[in-house]
Amino acid sequence: MIRDRSERTDGSTDGNDVERCVNCGDRIETDEWHPVDTARDADGEFVLVQFCTEACRDAWSKE
Ligand SMILES: [Zn+2]
């Protein structure tokens, strides 16, 4: 059986302007400044990652 896929999947492209901290998963308000960094995804492409606080960025980048 093939199900209708019109339901949103993970919500990543539904226009919601809330991002998540890649370190702790907290929601980030995109209309406020927050720390960012670059990382490589599974394909080796550079991607921009976002953090809720500088402390989270520091903790993440130490790994
Ligand atoms: Zn965080």
Per-residue pLDDT tens digits for 12-55: 445 556 789 999 999 998 788 899 999 999 999 999 999 999 99
Count CA atoms closer than 13 A to 20's CA, side-chain side: 8
Taking the centre of ligand 1 as the mean of its atom positions, its distance from the CA of residue 33, in whole angstroms, is 13
How many whole angstroms from 60 Cα to the centroid of ligand 1? Answer: 9
- 22 C-alpha to ligand 1 centroid (Å): 7
Ligand 1 centroid vs 14 CA: distance in angstroms?
22
**pTM of this structure:** 0.64
pLDDT for 11 equals 47
Contacts of 60 (CB under 8 A, 6+ apart): 22, 23, 37, 49, 51
